[in-house]
Amino acid sequence: MNSEITHIVLIVVTDLAKQEVVQALLAADYHVTEIGSTGSLFTTGFASLLIGVTADQVEEVLHIVRQNCHTAFDPGEKRAIAYVLRANTFAMMQPQEEAAPS
């Protein structure tokens, strides 16, 4: 499974929508990495999410994000942006068995 992941979807979404988007993605069995939020006094937080996906999953992920970033007060206002990037290598390191001390 790991070796098939070739793309990263990087999503920047407003704080208000983040919860819904993350829940929806988790519910669809995606592993989401959340990179904090820029929110502080008087700034709208933008949270960044990273998801590693296979080529066919890209469309689904985008669909989920589109469905769930409802919170917008303005039809023209951007609620989220997504970059689909190709990754050269993707690996999830497993902890190795402790070798006998040499």
Partner 1 sequence: METFAETIIVSEEILIVLLLVASVVALMASRLRMPYTVGLVLIGLGLTFVPSLHFEVSPEIILFVLVPPLIFEAAFHIRLDDLRRDWQTILLLAVLGVLINTFIVAGIISWGTGMSLTVALVFGSLIAATDPVAVVALFRKLGAPRRLQVLLEGESLFNDGTAIVVFGLMVTIALTGDFSLAGSVTDFIRVAGGGIIIGGMLGLVVSQIIGSFNDPMVETTLTTVLAFGTYVAAEQLHVSGVLAVVTAGLVNGNIGPHGMSATTRIVVFNFWEYAAFVANSLVFLFIGLTIEIGLLIENWYYILWAILAVLVGRAISVYTITSFNRDLPWSWRHVLYWGGLRGAISLALALSLPAALGPATRQLQAMAFGVVLFTLLVQGFSMERVSKWLKLVKRSPLQEEYERRHARYVAVRSSYEHLLHMARQGLISEHTWQRLSPLLEKQKNNLIEAVSEIINQDPEVKSEELDTARREALRVQRNTLLSLLRDGVISEEIYTELVGEIDTALTSPLFTWSNLLTGARINAPIDRMMMVIIQERDLPQVMRRLMETGVSLAQLPSTGGFLQQRNATVLIGYPAEMEASLLQALQETTRHRVEMSSSATRLAVPGAASRIRVGGAVLFIFDVESYHEF
Q: Is 50 in the site for partner 1 (CB under 8 A)?
A: no
SS3 65: helix
Among 18, 22, 57, 79, binds partner 1 (CB under 8 A): 79
Give the Å distances, CA to CA, from 57 to 21, 29, 54, 77, 99: 16, 11, 5, 26, 37
Given the DSSP bridges, would you call strands 7-14 and 32-37 parallel, antiparallel or unpaired? unpaired
Among 28, 78, 91, 92, binds partner 1 (CB under 8 A): 78
* Site size toward partner 1, by CB under 8 A: 34
Q: Is 19 in the site for partner 1 (CB under 8 A)?
A: no
Q: Is 88 in the site for partner 1 (CB under 8 A)?
A: no
- Ramachandran class of 29: left when φ > 0, alpha when ψ lies in -120 to 50, beta otherwise: left
Phi, psi at 52, each rounded to 5°: -90, 130
Q: Is 76 in the site for partner 1 (CB under 8 A)?
A: yes
Site residues (vs partner 1, CB under 8 A):
7, 10, 12, 16, 35-38, 40-44, 46, 48, 58, 62, 65-66, 69, 71, 73-74, 76-86
